[in-house]
Structure 1
């Protein structure tokens, strides 16, 4: 699947919302559309989004979430919380391109992290237990106390992937099999494993292509777990806090409450797709949290699910339709009423499909909401244009065309423009988005944003800025070089702002452009304008932190930082309320953030 980090930037109307005056703070308002690795300590839950760079913390069992700061240098692969000190958190870290790893440690409830251990290779897992902390890496298993004072355990197995403390013993998946540390001595088994779970003396080992195995004596002896499935790929296999063994294969999801003697099939695959991890609060073993596609879900029977977080979705597009705010993400679109009062947006009990459900573009006008969904028709990349007449609650497909999209905009009258990449073309509709005509131009390399005015359309393309005044029949290059966004001032169509990789190009006559160089060292993305003419510009960091949002008070001639730590991972989409009092930012890994403008 191709992922192109670009931006839809369209200034849309939004109804007034409640405000407490100007603010320098960004509030994460949801949606709870991301999943992640789980850790529990007391009443506190932690979620680390897959390959994420921050941890989300909930002190009220998932009703609300706090987003932590970005990690220093590394990405995260696993998370653990000290049961005796709930604010002490460890993350297994690795460099984005592979190679060296680290254990990251926080003592403020995952607000900030520092490097506690550096390793030559990726750290794949961390755990607390028996008064110690453990980390699994290619060199073997490291042990520390409270996340400090680390040393490599003598004789520990190399290529360690997963570590589990089982009573006084340590059980490790390393080199594709189970290893056990008991009474200071390591023992290797032939049991296949890449993931270990345990409850009391019971240990379950799973390997994706090696089945599920069960031990009732802390890893001393093992037997194969069999059930009503025939598929050999084990997507999930483990024991949960209530004593259930759970197995998920391509055949479905199965539960055994009697250690594998009998099995019950559930609808979990249909409801929340593939399981990655299951966890529970110590005092609620029957109420299980599932890290599945599209989020974290709580369930007591794996038939009925409640979404509990986290607001770490990758937001690609934003729009307002009536009294609804809609966010397009990597895994579908989410809707909430305005003003936004909760991080939990509409949820119908099922997770969105993880494949073929990226909402790259949204556009709204006069009660009609359109979205561009990037998916597949067979093996071909396809844009599904879908329409909603109820503010994003239900959708109907109106057209399918080749390519992928990050831009959809209403033009004059019944015209709708659909930008495209992966094809040398864009699309024009003359009936409000019910059907589209393809405009093929060999010079186009991939359109990032389309901006329309009464006289024509501007195209921000990977090969330059283009202009068409005949509904796309012909196009003319105005500026060379990669362009990520373009905006036309709704008050003055001759005022055009084009966004390059690191520079901004500004025109006040619609013909000639002046370059504002080195606006940001990070990749620039979204641009939006408030009703007072103030411009806002997003940026994205592919390593470290970005400025998040910049602001211009002079039509784009100069820019100053307007971001903050909450949006430092990067901003893909921006939206200003029609009253100019609220700025919404769709972020790379923090869902939608809101900032009061006064």
Structure 2
């Protein structure tokens, strides 16, 4: 059978849709699967995911979060809020690829930002207080009295890593401790790359040099000693309730008497490496920790409650029973339907940050499979894991070389499962429901993004083209050339196939010949989903600026309109329509899962 590509741009243009209007609101429903730099002011807390491009804000102490707009130009590396004017937020950061730095300023509580300072090197930290704002960079410390006009502070040390205000005194970590007090600079011996304080007690941490403590606001210092032997100090500081905290490769330790006696906690094992600790002014004993797996609240650093942030990178979505599952860069999360909270399941332990990327999910008849991209030694390895309780617990059933973004049950034979792979020119077939897999090697494959199955065979959306197999992958035939990101078979009519390229869509109504819809988007197109009534939804991803998010087609893919929305920002990796057709779920690049009513 010959497959034909026909260009009918005039007929298949991207045109406005006459479809009835539906609600336009997108809600971020979680999961709270991302960490972030923290800033507190009164009852507000702000979080900036590491190397992130937007700020999250909570006005109810972490129960719900509002996601701000994308930053102009840069990625964030530090965060500060004016304690007197809590809607004034500063972000330190860097511009991708050039090494230059930027300070952003918001006056609307982190909803939007504008550039107020550009520097030759990365801005590593910002600080605000006493109606002054400060920024640390390789050139030294910049200062502003109004947040808009900035100048290098005369005499400030080069190579500034961290800033910390204690009253009107400015402490700077720049290899050693420098203090700007009463208009004069003094330098002190302790090596430092991070500084914290409580009252007159100041703690300076150096990653390779340990922890130093001053009880007289930085005038004299002494080394902090404890029951650890490692010289690598992952975290060192003092919290608002007076606990000195030190985390090394040996563990996490707390002292309530300025280092005289120490208590070992299980924090390193439970939530991994600390980046910083903060707290609300009226709750010094209830501390928030930015760890490698998220943000957690604790009163003893033994027991943790996850409190944010809904900024996870979601790669896959599935529904099993009354459970909604999201596969992220740090594991999968599960919540009951209908989703009532941004906090999804949490077992008290942070997910592994390495080798725990859930690239694919599939569910059928009470069985859920997930493809976890990890490592066996130094080799990229797919671990197939199975759940019989809707994603609450998992058992590894198989492992094979590669990475995966696609996992699908055969609609006609429930024991047959297909698993796509990239980094190798192969894919996998299971004949026993995902317990074991056979490898199908094909030289033409360059990396499979999506597999779609119908009663007659399978379609492969591959970096080298669209492929068709009618014998469970034993043989393949290329249908379309060029990079393909996704493919979908209409469950109501298997002859209706939609293939998604980088910027174009290819549509077939006979399962044989395809028509191209060119220039659907200037952004990269991603996942595609279909509603029970046949409406198609298509995700897009922007690598510069805001994304259009989701596109919609009500004519089988012949034409597309923007469906929204501004809350999706950088774009969509996964799409899922509820079985009743009333809800669309979008797994986003940096905003967890968003939900929109379809009426």
* TM bin (shorter chain): over 0.9
Cα distance in structure 2, aligned partners of 1:478 and 1:216: 73
**CA distance in structure 1 between the aligned counterparts of 2:219 and 2:131, rounded to whole angstroms:** 22
Counterparts in 2 of 1:288 and 1:98: CA distance versus 1, 3 Å: farther
2:540 matched to which residue of 1?
A: 539
Partner of 1:240: 239
- Contact 1:525-1:571 at 8 Å conserved across structures: yes
5+ residue gaps, structure 2, are 1-20
Match of 2:81 in 1: 81
1:148 aligned counterpart, secondary structure:
coil
Of the structure 1 ranges 304-313 and 96-105, higher mean CA displacement relative to structure 2 is found in: 96-105
Aligned-pair CA distance for 1:96: 2.1
- Which residue number in structure 2 is paired with residue 72 of structure 1? 72
Distance 1:182 1:89 in 2: 24
Distance 1:405 1:222 in 2: 53
Q: Which residue of 2 aligns with 1:5?
A: none
SS of equivalent residue, structure 2 residue 528: strand
Deviations 1:188-239 (A, max 9, x none): 3342211111112221111222211112222222222121111221111111
Q: Does 1:522 align with 2:515?
A: no
More divergent stretch after superposition (410-419 vs 113-122): 113-122
The residue matched to 1:179 in structure 2 has which SS? strand
CA RMSD of aligned residues (A): 1.2
* Cα distance, 1:146 vs structure 2: 4.8
Matches within 5 A, 1:198-213: 198-213=197-212
Deviation at 1:130, TM superposition (A): 2.9
| Matching of residue 480 in structure 1 with residue 486 in structure 2 | no
SS in 1 for 2:349: coil
Which position in structure 2 is the counterpart of 1:3?
none
Aligned to 2:388: 389
In 2, distance between residues paired with 1:208 and 1:500? Answer: 46
Q: How many residues align?
A: 577
Structure 1 residue 478, shift from structure 2 partner: 1.2
Equivalent residue number for residue 447 of structure 1: 448
SS in 2 for 1:270: helix
TM-superposed CA distance for 1:145, in Å, is 2.6
CA distance in 1, matches of 2:446, 2:178: 52
- Alignment of structure 1 residues 321-340 onto 2, 5 Å: 321-340=320-339
Q: If the length of structure 1 is used for normalisation, what is the TM-score?
A: 0.95
Q: Which residue of 2 aligns with 1:197?
A: 196
| Aligned match of 2:553 | 552
Alpha-carbon shift at residue 102 of structure 1 (Å) = 1.6
Give yes or no for contact 1:489–1:496 (8 Å, CA) kept in 2. Answer: yes
What whole-Å deviation, never above 9, does each CA across 1:263-311 have from its counterpart, x for those lacking one?
A: 1100001211111110001111110000012211000000001111111
For 1:351 and 1:83, the matched residues in 2 are separated by: 30
CA distance in 2, matches of 1:195, 1:562: 45
In the alignment, the residues of structure 2 paired with residue 382 and residue 118 of structure 1 have an alpha-carbon distance, to the nearest angstrom, of 42
Give the distance between the partners of 2:317 and 2:589, measured in 1 at CA. 13
Q: Assess if the C-alpha contact under 8 Å between 1:48 and 1:56 holds in 2.
A: yes
Whole-angstrom distance in 1 between the partners of 2:317 and 2:128: 41
For residue 120 of structure 1, report the CA deviation from its aligned partner. Answer: 2.1
Tell me which residue corresponds to 1:227.
Answer: 226
What does the per-residue CA deviation read over 1:51-109, in whole Å, with 9 as the maximum and x for residues that have no partner? 11111111111111111111122211111111111111111122122422221111111
Distance 2:392 2:135 in 1: 45
Residue 416, structure 1, aligned to residue 413, structure 2 = no
1:110 corresponds to 2:118: no
Cα distance in structure 1, aligned partners of 2:73 and 2:423: 32
Inter-partner Cα distance in structure 2 for 1:146 and 1:162:
21
What does 1:391-406 correspond to in 2, within 5 Å?
391-406=390-405
The yes-or-no answer on 1:438 pairing with 2:439 is: yes
1:569-588 residue pairs with structure 2 within 5 A? 569-588=570-589
Q: Work out the CA distance in 2 between the residues paired with 1:429 and 1:551.
A: 34
Higher alpha-carbon deviation: 230-239 or 569-578 = 230-239
Give the secondary-structure state (helix, strand or coil) at the position aligned to 2:270. Answer: helix
Map Cα deviations across residues 481-520 of structure 1 (whole Å, 9 max, x no partner): 1111111111111111111111111111212212211111
Q: Aligned with 1:566: secondary structure?
A: helix
Structure 2 distance, partners of 1:252, 1:522, is 45
> Is 1:592 matched up with 2:593?
yes
How far does the alpha carbon of each residue in 1:10-54 deviate from its partner, in whole angstroms, 9 at most, with x for none?
xxxxxxxxxxx9410100111111110000000000000111111
Q: Structure 1: which 5+ residue stretches go unaligned?
A: 1-20
CA contact (8 A) 1:98 1:122 kept: no
Separation of aligned partners in 2, 1:399 and 1:256: 46
TM-score of the aligned structures, taking structure 2 as reference length: 0.95
SS in structure 2 of the partner of residue 47 of structure 1:
strand
